[in-house]
Structure 1
């Protein structure tokens, strides 16, 4: 068993080597507009997860092209977990674009940066999101607007669903809820006390959170993709926000409970969808 400091050092070496090797290729692909710009980010995320001993357990229908995916947000590692299984671009707050290295990596994955505190930009940002979706991009949004503790999902901000409004083609944008849970440590279900240590919340700095994950033994993150919905089915933007929040929170609850079979989980989700179909406003 390796000492913590040596484990962290070796894992950082692998991650740094991956950046040095893959970054020039991604720069070339992006600036020359060559095909396959989403393949290298997926490979990079897979390498990071392999280096830190993280496994991803995926269930549910994989989102199709042109889908807006809405997920709960727990940690910076969410980007790597989701990006390792799906060619996807993320929607992030604008100030991340200025972060050293991380900002560059985000730009090279075609991240769409938005200014959430400026209402005057809402229409332009919504149009930009809708344009990307209609072109066939998969976009991922964390509509809580912050990170949670991995068990409780904060209410979704309905303003971030503005791109789901009917487009010029009158075709509703598919919205696919995704539940993300840090579920196991060393093959054993995580308790809430353990799960919260992997969450980047409150006054926890980015570097201490990264250090904890780099020191960690093998752990598993569960991704559950739920059936897509749209604004017409939900009956409006606010109802869509409430409905998708219910679905994501239910998915998180089913995973953290750890006692449901897949069939039982499907029955619970069907019941939630039936209830959620009723008027919410």
Structure 2
């Protein structure tokens, strides 16, 4: 890497650096192409020896050792065998690394990146594969253009739930009750209206009558737009830009709605609850 490139890279790092409370950062590109670019930029920006772990929202992981913008080892990958840096031909090794970078980019986002100390000191002849070589090889791998749904795994066991299949509001009632274990705040619009947690009266996320009316109207507009594409019930997920903060999971069935505010990292719990409820009524 030339001196000018190093200065340019340091300037980019300085401009994009922000204070954070967790060692993890999130690569929140909404397409596989965008996420692959973010993974490559993370590799390019790693000058000192580090172990970079890219974790997808579905639990898939790519863990690589990087030094001076070069990949020197791979410890874990989404699919297939680990590349052998000692025996694989350089061309084959470069292609395999490009495929691994593309595989983690295709996995659902946001990607979580953690930079750790290497497990051991690097050998003097451990030159690895350069960022430029991997980037060029990635150019030969076509990625899908469509956006993918974010599914964040959660360690909480999937609940066993029962719903009243005769009642249209059964699944929304069950979602409201089941979300208690992960929700920061929740509300239900059904035969009765319920509020809990941050959504309780007097709390920051409590929706008043006007807000609920506008919310319901927006959902009816959503239903009109997607009625020919999506069936009911539906789970609508909203998360903040960057993948950190409070998200919102909304389950709607006809005119009944249940919503839960949750830490973004708990999205997997909401999805698991949704899947169990959906399976129970099918």
Give the structure with the higher percent strand: 2
TM-score between the two structures when normalised by the length of structure 2: 0.25
Structure number with the bigger relative contact order (C-alpha 8 A, sep ≥ 6) is: 1
TM-score between the two structures when normalised by the length of structure 1: 0.26
